[in-house]
Amino acid sequence: MVKFISSAIKAILCLSASFPLASAFTNPVRNPGGSDPWMVYSGGYYYLMSTTWTDVQIARSETVDGLKTAEKKVVYTTTEASHCCNVWAPEVHYLGDKWYIYYTAGNADNLDGQNMHVLAGGSTPYDDYTYAGQLTNAWAIDGSVLRFNDWGNFLMFSCFHGVDYQSICLQQLGDDFVSLTGDITVISEPTEEFETHGTPVNEGPVALYVNGATQIVYSASYCWTPYYCLGLLTWDGSSDPRQASAWSKHDGCLLSSANGNYGTGHNSFFQSADGSETWIAYHATSNSSGACDDSRYTMVQPMIANSDGSLSFGEAATWEEVFEEPS
């Protein structure tokens, strides 16, 4: 009897060792409805933003795994015709002493009215938000904040600003964080082979500050193809960042379709709770033709820290891989 109990306990211990419940997770973290995943860690919570195309949602949990079942709190929705609909890519950023949500929205009829809008929030990402205005006056999507010590803050977004294809643009963010000032400049156009599958596209820019370098990770090629992938721009460290010549483009994709995940793109980076690890969240689809719709799911995995302080993206993970929670 004693022997039986002890082997039963052993079996339970063994089971919990191979399937740790509270401290690990598998992908995807959101499926479906996991496109353009924006994640941050703040004040004890991981936050994940999403949209059902007519609202801005935020979920939070103390663990990445907990995001799978966390409430999707709607922080904004409107019936205003000019920005009711086609809501895309909400991102929450801490600027000054408040959180702001930058997001894309347009009208219900077509995608011609897509522009950047901003919501002003409070001292945590989960506080109430109020609509603070439209930031752009010409087609613009996927806005994100880029910070420089010497040049201030910029909104970077995907635009057609005197160019034929969706490119990456910069415009200075006002001191109030809810306006843009100065000229719009184009810093990257989809000119390389890896950026031109389906149709040439540069979109979804996000900042990556690592190893003393200021970089922009962006999505390249058309999302209805399996070639949609992540590209990289690196600032030269001194020139006016509004000049395209201040940026060098990495040759090829840094994260691309693998292990049944197609069209790996439009990512965000977040720090682990103790700040020691950088993680990436990105979307992908199981459809080998690629997808731009709600079938996209959210993948979360750690960036690989190299001994010289740089980061590698690794490969899009399988759904079987068990990740320890960020430390």
From the CB of residue 286, how many other CB atoms can be counted at a distance below 10 Å? Answer: 15
In three-state form (DSSP H/G/I as H, E/B as E, the rest C), the secondary structure along 17-74 is HHCCCCCEECCCCECCCCCCCEEEEECCEEEEEECCCCEEEEEEECCCHHHHCCCCEE
Identity of the residue, 184 or 201, whose beta carbon is nearer to ligand NAG in the bound complex:
201
Give the Cα separation of 201 and 198 in Å (integer). Answer: 9
How many residues in the shown chain lie near ligand NAG by CB under 6 A? Answer: 3
Instruction: For the CB of residue 28, give the shortest distance to ligand NAG in the complex, in Å.
Output: 16
Which of 94, 194, 224, 319 binds ligand NAG (CB under 6 A)? It is 224
* Joined tokens for residue 305: 């820290």
Nearest to 29 by CA among 91, 77, 72: 72
Residue 260 binds ligand NAG (CB under 6 A): no
Q: Which residues pair with 258 in a beta bridge?
A: 261
CB of 286 to ligand NAG, least distance (A): 8
310 binds ligand NAG (CB under 6 A): no
32 binds ligand NAG (CB under 6 A): no
Residue 271 lies near ligand NAG (rule: CB under 6 A): no
Q: Supply the minimum distance, in Å, between the C-beta of residue 318 and ligand NAG.
A: 19
Shortest spacing between CB 225 and ligand NAG, in angstroms: 9
Residue 199 lies near ligand NAG (rule: CB under 6 A): no
Classify residue 93 by burial, with Cβ atoms within 10 Å: 0-12, 13-18, 19+.
buried
Taking the least distance from each CB to ligand NAG, the nearer of 34 and 241 is 34
CB-nearer residue toward ligand NAG: 145 or 223: 223
Cβ proximity to ligand NAG, 248 vs 289, nearer residue? 289
CB of 71 vs ligand NAG, minimal distance in Å: 28
Shorter beta-carbon distance to ligand NAG: residue 33 or 90 = 33
In the DSSP assignment, the letter for residue 79 is -
Q: Does 53 bind ligand NAG (CB under 6 A)?
A: no
For residues 136 and 261, which CB has a smaller minimum distance to ligand NAG in the complex? 261
Residue 292 binding ligand NAG, by CB under 6 A = no
Q: Does residue 137 interact with ligand NAG by CB under 6 A?
A: no
Kindly state the DSSP code that residue 317 receives in the 8-state scheme.
P
Parallel, antiparallel, or unpaired for β 229-235 and 278-285?
unpaired
Contact 21, 325 (CB under 8 A): no
CB closer to ligand NAG out of 201 and 208:
201
Are residues 200 and 185 in contact, defined by beta-carbon separation less than 8 angstroms?
no
312 lies in the binding site for ligand NAG (CB under 6 A): no
Structure-token match 């420089």, residue found: 148
CA distance 216 to 83: 27
Give the whole-angstrom CA distance, residue 155 versus residue 54. Answer: 23
- Toward ligand NAG, which CB reaches closer, 231 or 263? 263
Closest approach, Cβ 27 to ligand NAG, in A, equals 19
Shortest distance in whole angstroms from residue 287 CB to ligand NAG: 4
114 dihedral zone (left: phi>0; alpha: psi -120 to 50; beta): beta
Answer for which of 107, 153, 179, 287 binds ligand NAG (CB under 6 A) is 287
Task: Name residue 218's amino acid.
Answer: Y
Query: Minimum distance from CB of 285 to ligand NAG (Å)?
Result: 8
- Is residue 289 a contact residue for ligand NAG (CB under 6 A)? yes
Among residues 209, 195, 317, 310, the alpha carbon closest in space to that of 252 is found at 195
| Residues forming the site for ligand NAG (CB under 6 A) | 224, 287, 289
